[in-house]
Amino acid sequence: MDKNMVLNSFNKNKGKEQRNKRGKQKVRNRRTIGKYPIKNTEQKNKAKEIKVRIGTWNIRSITGKEMELTSEFKKSNLKSLALTEIKKKGAGEMIVEDCTIMYSGVESSIWAQAGVGCIVKNDFMSRIKRWEGVNERIMVVEVRFDEDEFWTVIIVYGPNENDNKNSKEKFWDELQEVYEKSSSPILIVGDLNARVGSEARNSNGVIGSFGEIIKNKNGELLIDFCNSNETNNFEYMVSTQRNTQIHPCCPNTK
């Protein structure tokens, strides 16, 4: 895994008209310049840049990997590491050495599947205002990255490309609901099982020049979500590094 990469990350624009599938709604919150909100135009020249290192990792079950995960996390110099497909039941926290793993999975009566989580160092927990396991595919973490502003990090694990239509609609509806509830800047990170292609001309600014060639139906749903909410996907990588996971059963499939 490339620890410097943030997959499928988004920035919520507070100053423009927010569109979604349910209609149009004016949002009269703080204006934004670039990625960071400001309270008025006089602050434009004073807006500061906040650099945050966040990673994501599809771990395909967390059982028996807790020590390895925390060890790799501490080597990475990340502020937090989002975990997907952890396949752990229930929701809660685990203390592993000097790290805390927050997790959200299916109910105990269901076969372990999906699941999302987040690793931070114990001394960073004081910066977390709250976290919520919405379900086995969505987790919300409100965190203070700088001294005076909280961000909402939404960790997601999207349905597979071959999952049925109802499960996909349910996921995107729930993500939209969580997105609309937040009043702070948002980052959505994780594994959406989406391939958005590289057709920037037809994406209304959602896709930049660093997408891969292939687009799937999950990618189309992701583009629709970004268009509806005036967000964008962020991934600045050279072409040889845009696929970071190899299919475990098919080494030639990315």
Across 15-24, 48-57, 194-203, 240-249, least confident range: 15-24
**Structure confidence at residue 149 as a pLDDT band (50, 70, 90):** confident
The structure's pTM equals 0.75
User: What integer is the mean pLDDT of 106-131?
Assistant: 96
DSSP 49: P
The answer to whether residue 47 scores a pLDDT higher than 70 is no
Least confident of 26-30, 82-86, 152-156: 26-30
Torsion of CA 199, 20, 161, 109, to 10 degrees: 160
Write down the mean pLDDT value for the chain.
Answer: 80
What band does 188 get if pLDDT is binned at 50, 70 and 90?
very high
* The residue to which tokens 């020590």 are assigned: 67
CA distance 74 to 99: 9
Residue ranges with strand state E in 77-199: 80-84, 91-96, 99-104, 116-121, 128-133, 138-144, 150-157, 186-191
pLDDT at position 50 is 74
Separation CA 43–CA 32 (nearest Å): 11
Q: Check if CATH label 3.30.1360 holds for domain 18-44+61-241.
A: no
Residue 249 confidence (pLDDT) above 60: no
Instruction: Kindly tell me if the per-residue pLDDT of 140 is higher than 50.
Output: yes
> Are 130 and 150 a contacting pair, CB within 8 Å?
no
